Amino acid sequence: MNHNNKDNEGISKSGERVAVITGSSRGIGRAIALNFAKSKEYSSIVINSRRIDEAELVVQEIKKNTSCDSIAIPGDVSQEKDCIRLIDETVGKFQRLDVLVNNAGIQKDIPLTETTLQDWYNIISVDLTGPFICSREAVKQMKVQNDPRGGCIINISSVHQIIPKPHYVPYATSKGGIEMMTKTMALELATDNIRVNIVAPGAIDTDMNINLRTNVEERENTLRKIPMGRIGKDEEVANVVEFLASNKASYITGSTVIVDGGMTLYPSFALDYDHNSNHIFPKGSM
Ligand code: NAD
């Protein structure tokens, strides 16, 4: 579909940008939406999730606490027609689209041999195909706008675009795929002034990671992999997304910013500090 908007010259002033965040009814997506709304860079934020009632709660939160407008557009990003409608309705309502954050994601803990083709399709279609369709549709509008500030797409990937994750083959495959999709789109769209980047979180305290709240052993196991020794907060991811979407990141495209408390730094090579001798030893050597 071509989101041709003849009445709009497409030049945005500061504070007049429009953003769509998929899967923004809770967790990292909600934190991104609230950060954008508070930043005063945006006039309107579109909240998406499969259920309108959940999305509406975030819309109300934005309207109550900020001067930003917001609407809920329900839709399942694994469905092409829903992705097309999400972008169409956004442009229909606000006459522009400046920033798309592909955040919606699902995962499932299941051994390879028990992973059905349906499991594979379910996860790949939300985590990889959805970002592809939403980006394709958003770019049609961003090109029409021809705004000097450019368009911006941010994909929320994971440290598992780099670190293999046993029992999560479709999830890790999707996140690995997002990396090459991002780089390829960034290269194709660079001359259109449309930047495409990734934010890759480590372990963040959201409903997706409910086990880290309820299962002490799993929490301890995860903490051992994080040099900074704590689980991250959703707003710590949202802050980076806000930066990448802003003009301060105007020369960054095709990049991944990892937000993981050091999880990807080979934590087993970390140093232990002996307070008695004031010496630093390789971890595990004491
Ligand atoms: P979450 O489960 O708390 O929230 C996911 C959001 O996506 C919800 O709003 C949900 O309604 C929505 N959603 C799910 N399926 C959808 C669909 N088919 N269509 C539209 N919306 C849908 O998860 P989260 O932790 O906030 O994760 C957000 C993103 O961050 C995901 O892409 C996830 O892979 C990534 N991530 C999270 C962590 C973490 O530790 N929480 C780590 C790495 C990457």
- Asked if the 17-281 domain carries CATH number 3.40.50.300, the reply is no
Q: Is 208 in the pocket of ligand 1 (CB under 6 A)?
A: yes
Cα distance between residue 241 and residue 257, in whole Å: 9
Q: pLDDT-derived band of residue 14, with 50, 70 and 90 as boundaries?
A: low
DSSP string, 249-271: GTT--S-EEEESTTTTS-GGGPE
pLDDT tops 80 at residue 60: yes
**Measured distance CA(103)–CA(208) in Å, rounded:** 12
Ligand 1 nearest atom to the CA of residue 31, by list position:
26
| Whether residue 124 has its Cβ less than 6 Å from ligand 1 | no
Q: Are strands 99-102 and 17-21 parallel, antiparallel or unpaired?
A: parallel
Q: Is the pLDDT of residue 13 over 70?
A: no
Spell out the domain ranges in the chain: 17-281
- Closest ligand 1 atom to 30 CA: 9
CA 26 to centroid of ligand 1, rounded, Å: 8
Q: Is 42 a catalytic residue?
A: no
The pLDDT tens digits of the residues spanning 159-191 come to 999 999 999 999 999 999 999 999 999 999 999
| Residue pLDDT, tens place only, 116-147 | 999 999 999 999 999 999 999 999 999 999 78
Q: Retrieve residue 281's tokens.
A: 């030893």
> Is the Cβ atom of 155 under 6 angstroms away from ligand 1?
no
- Name the closest-CA residue to atom 18, ligand 1: 76
Encode pLDDT of 191-250 as tens digits.
Answer: 999 999 999 999 999 999 999 999 999 999 999 999 999 999 999 999 999 999 999 999
| Mean pLDDT on 23-48 | 97
pLDDT of residue 7: 42
